[in-house]
């Protein structure tokens, strides 16, 4: 899994840093997201999914699917 963040979309809500402080931080200057670990270990994949799912600005992107649960319901 790889993580990417879009600082232009980020509104500084801080959910990511709250839910996954090992992976995300907030810039002291503008409050926007800082990516601490773009290639998180498996132990943090669940937190990465939770942060991406709860970001109100959809500013967090997960790349790659290795050992990751589905990040979206497809409506079966």
Binding site for ligand SF4 (CB under 6 A): 5, 10-16, 24, 26, 32-33, 55-57, 59-60
Neighbouring C-beta atoms of residue 59, cutoff 10 Å? 20
Burial of 48 (0-12, 13-18, 19+ CB in 10 A): buried
State the minimum distance, in angstroms, from the CB of residue 52 to ligand SF4: 8
CB of 51 to ligand SF4, least distance (A): 6
CB of 42 to ligand SF4, least distance (A): 22
């Amino acid at each position: 899994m790889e993580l990417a963040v879009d600082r232009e979309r980020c509104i500084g809500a801080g959910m990511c840093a709250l839910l996954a402080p090992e992976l995300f931080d907030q810039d002291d200057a503008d409050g926007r997201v800082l990516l601490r670990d773009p290639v998180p270990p498996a132990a943090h994949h669940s937190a990465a999914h939770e942060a991406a799912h709860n970001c109100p600005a959809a500013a967090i992107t997960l790349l790659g699917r290795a050992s990751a649960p589905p990040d979206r319901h497809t409506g079966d």
